[in-house]
Structure 1
Amino acid sequence: MFTDVLDNKNFKNPILPGFYPDPSICRVGEIYYMVNSSFAFFPGIPIFQSADLVNWEQIGHVLDRESQLKLDGAYYSGGIFAPTIRYHEGVFYVITTNVDNRGNFIVTANDPKGPWSEPYFIENAPGIDPSLFFDEDGKVYYTGCRETKNPRFFGDSEIWLQEIDLDKMQLKGESSTIWRGALKDVKCPEGPHIYKINGMYYLVISEGGTEHYHAITVARSKNISGPYEGNPGNPILTHRHLGKDYPISNTGHADLVKTQNDDWYMVLLGSRPYGGYYKNLGRETFLVPVVWEDGWPIVSPGTGKVEFEYPFPNLPRSDKGQEEIRDDFDKEVLDYKWNSLRTPKEKFWSLKERSGFLRLKLKPMRILDVVETKGDNNYKKYAEESPSFLARRQQHINFEVLTKMEFTPENDKETAGIALIQNNNHQFRLEYSMENGHKVVRLVSCKRECKESYVIDYEGKNIESTINSKVFEADVLYLKVTAIGQEYNFYYGSSLDEMKLLAENVDGRILSWELAGGFIGTCIGLFASSNGEASCNHADFDWFDYEGK
Structure 2
Amino acid sequence: MKNYSKFVSLIALLALTIGQGFSQRNKVNHAVFNYATYEGKDQVYIDHPLGVDEFYNPILQGCYPDPSITRKGDDYFLVTSSFAMFPGVPIFHSKDLVNWTQIGHVLDRKSQLKVFDAGIAFGIFAPDIKYNPYNDTFYMITTQFAGDIGNMVVKTKDPFQGWSDPIQLKFEGIDPGLFFDEDGKAYVVHNDAPDPGKERYSGHRVIKIWEYDLEKDQVVEGTDKIIVDGGVDPSKNPIWIEAPHIYKKNGFYYLMCAEGGTGGNHSEVIFKSEHPMGPYIPAPSNPILTQRYFGDRKNRVDWAGHADLVLGPDDKYYGVFLGIRPNDKNRVNTGRETFILPVDWSGEWPVFENGLVPIQPKLKMPGGVTENKTGQKGYFPNGNFVYTEKFNADKLDFRWIGLRGPREDFMKTTKIGAQITPFPVNMKEVKPTSTLFYRQQHKNFSFTTALDYKPQSEKDLAGIVCVQSEAFHYIFGVTKVGNDYILLLERTEAEGNGRNRKVKSQILASTKVDLSKPLTLQVKATGDDYEFGYATDGGEIVNLGGVVSGDILSTNIAGGFTGNMIGLYATSSNDVLPAR
Decide: shared fold, TM above 0.5: yes
Q: Secondary structure at the match of 1:113?
A: helix
Return the alpha-carbon distance in structure 1 between the equivalents of residues 408 and 57 of structure 2.
39
Show the counterpart of 1:158: 206
Residue 174 of structure 1 pairs with residue 207 of structure 2:
no
Matches within 5 A, 1:76-115: 76-89=120-133, 90-100=136-146, 101-115=148-162
Residues 237-283 of structure 1 show CA distances to partners (whole Å, capped at 9, x for unaligned) of 11122225561111110001112421111100000111222111110
Q: Residue 16 of structure 2 corresponds to which residue in structure 1?
A: none
Structure 2 counterpart of 1:514, from 541, 546, 556: 556
Following TM superposition, by how much is the alpha carbon of 1:448 offset from its aligned partner in structure 2, in angstroms? 2.7
Deviations 1:84-113 (A, max 9, x none): 111123211111110223111111111112
1-structure distance, mates of 2:487, 2:407: 30
Equivalent runs, 1:231-250 vs 2, <5 Å: 231-243=283-295, 247-250=300-303
**2:518 counterpart of 1:465:** no
Matched, 1:417 2:467: no
Secondary structure in structure 2 of the residue aligned to 1:174? coil
Distance in 2, matches of 1:345 and 1:485, equals: 30
**2:444–2:527 contact (8 Å) kept in structure 1:** yes
Change (3 A) 1:72 1:480: closer
Q: CA deviation at 1:319?
A: 4.4
Give, in whole Å, the separation in 2 of the partners of 1:287 and 1:274. Answer: 21
CA positional deviation for 1:387: 1.3
Residue of structure 2 aligned with 1:389, choices 431, 435, 441:
435
Alpha-carbon distance in 2 for matches of 1:366, 1:192: 38
Structure 1 letter corresponding to 2:178: L
Change (3 A) 1:457 1:359: farther
List runs of 5+ in structure 1 lacking aligned partners. 372-384, 451-455, 534-549
Cα distance change of structure 1 residues 294 and 357 upon mapping to structure 2, 3 Å threshold = closer
| Structure 1 residue 35: Cα displacement | 0.2
Of 357, 363, 374, the match for 1:310: 363
Equivalent pair of 2:329/2:527 in contact (CA under 8 Å): no
- Name the structure 2 match of 1:355: 415
Which whole-Å deviations, capped at 9, do the CAs of 1:37-90 have from their partners, x for residues lacking one? Answer: 000010000000112212211000000011111113211010000001111232
CA distance in 2, matches of 1:425, 1:306: 33
Whole-angstrom CA distance in 1 between matches of 2:311 and 2:574: 53
Amino acid in the other structure paired with 1:201: Y
- Distance in 1 (CA, whole Å) between partners of 2:164 and 2:266 is 33
Question: Within 2, Cα distance between the matches of 1:301 and 1:349?
Answer: 45
Whether contact under 8 Å (2:494, 2:501) holds in the other structure is: no
Q: 1:450-502: CA deviations, max 9, x gaps? A: 7xxxxx86754421111111111214311011111111111111133332221
Greater share of helix: 2
TM-fit CA distance, 1:355:
3.2
Query: Which residue number in structure 1 is paired with residue 515 of structure 2?
Result: 474
Instruction: Give the match's secondary structure for 2:307.
Output: strand
Letter in 1 for 2:507: T
Report the Cα distance in structure 2 between the residues aligned to 1:459 and 1:329, rounded to whole angstroms: 43
- Return the offset for 1:134: 0.5
Aligned equivalents of 1:245, 1:512: Cα separation in 2? 20
CA contact (8 A) 2:334 2:442 kept: yes
Give the stretch that moved more between structures: 521-530 or 310-319: 310-319
Deviates most, 52-61 or 14-23: 52-61
Is residue 142 from structure 1 mapped to residue 204 from structure 2 by the alignment?
Answer: no
Q: CA deviation at 1:530?
A: 1.9
Separation (CA, whole Å) in 2 of partners of 1:113 and 1:42: 18
What do you get for the CA RMSD once the two structures are aligned?
A: 2.2
Name the structure, 1 or 2, with higher relative contact order (CA <8 Å, separation 6+): 2
Structure with the greater alpha carbon radius of gyration: 2
Give the Cα–Cα distance (whole angstroms) in 2 for the partners of residues 397 and 366 of structure 1: 27
CA contact (8 A) 2:301 2:324 kept: yes
Judged with a 3 Å threshold, the aligned counterparts in structure 2 of structure 1 residues 524 and 315 are, in CA distance, closer, same or farther, namely: farther
Letter in 2 for 1:10: E
Superposed, 1:12-51 pairs within 5 Å as: 12-51=56-95
Find the counterpart in structure 1 of residue 428 from structure 2: 368
User: Which SS does the other structure have where 2:159 is aligned?
Assistant: coil
| Aligned counterpart in structure 2 of residue 251 of structure 1, from 304, 310, 324 | 304
Q: Is the 8 A contact 2:332 2:555 kept in 1?
A: yes
CA distance in 1, matches of 2:308, 2:192: 19
Quick check: 469-478 or 261-270, which moved more? 469-478
Distance 1:200 1:49 in 2: 29
Structure 2: how far apart are the matches of 1:391 and 1:442?
Answer: 20
CA contact (8 A) 1:238 1:305 kept: no
Change (3 A) 1:260 1:326: closer
SS of 1:498's equivalent?
coil
Q: Distance in 1 between matches of 2:260 and 2:99?
A: 30
Kindly state the Cα deviation for residue 301 of structure 1 after the two structures are TM-superposed. Answer: 4.4
Match of residue 215 from structure 1? 267
Counterpart amino acid of residue 492 in structure 1: Y
* Separation of aligned partners in 2, 1:114 and 1:244: 45
Q: Which residue of 1 aligns with 2:5?
A: none
Query: Using the alignment, how far apart are the partners of 2:343 and 2:129 within structure 1?
Result: 20
The question of whether the paired residues in 1 share the 8 Å contact of 2:178 and 2:187 is answered with yes
Q: Which moved more, 1:294-303 or 1:138-147?
A: 294-303
Q: Within 5 Å, which residues of 2 pair with 1:240-319?
A: 240-243=292-295, 247-301=300-354, 304-316=357-369, 317=371, 319=373
Aligned-partner Cα distance in 2 for 1:254–1:266: 6
**Deviation sequence 1:489-547 (CA, Å, 0-9, x none):** 111111333322213322112211000011111100111112269xxxxxxxxxxxxxx
1:201 corresponds to 2:253: yes
**Contact 1:154 1:187 (C-alpha < 8 Å) held by counterparts:** yes
Aligned counterpart, 2:279? 227
Change (3 A) 1:481 1:143: same
Instruction: Identify which range, 17-26 or 297-306, moves more after superposition.
Output: 297-306
Alignment-mate amino acid for residue 509 of structure 1? D
The letter for the 2-side match of 1:263 is: K
Give the SS at the match of 2:473. Answer: strand
State the alpha-carbon separation in 2 of the partners of residues 262 and 393 from structure 1.
33
Whether the 8 Å CA contact 2:259–2:268 is kept in 1: the answer is yes
Counterpart of 1:331 (choices 385, 390, 393) is 393
- Using the alignment, how far apart are the partners of 2:407 and 2:449 within structure 1? 27
Aligned pair in 2 of structure 1 residues 302, 96: CA closer, same or farther (>3 Å)? closer
Alpha-carbon distance between aligned partners in 1 of 2:535 and 2:498, rounded to the nearest angstrom:
36
Correspondences of 1:113-132 after superposition (within 5 Å): 113-123=160-170, 125-132=171-178
The total of aligned residue pairs comes to 511
Q: How big is the shift at 1:199?
A: 0.8
1:282-333, Cα deviation, whole Å (9 max, x unpaired): 1000111111254011212485443222211114335461656111111223
**Structure 2: gaps spanning 5 or more residues:** 1-37, 576-580
CA spacing shift, 1:471–1:302, aligned 2, 3 Å: closer
2:341/2:355 contact within 8 Å kept: no
Letter in structure 2 aligned against 1:464: S
Give the distance between the partners of 2:100 and 2:214, measured in 1 at CA: 30
468-477 vs 21-30, which deviates more? 468-477
| Residue of structure 2 equivalent to 1:432 | 478
Deviations 1:95-133, CA, capped at 9 Å, x for gaps: 11102231111111111122211111112x111111110
Residue equivalent to 2:492: 446
Partner of 1:510, secondary structure, is helix
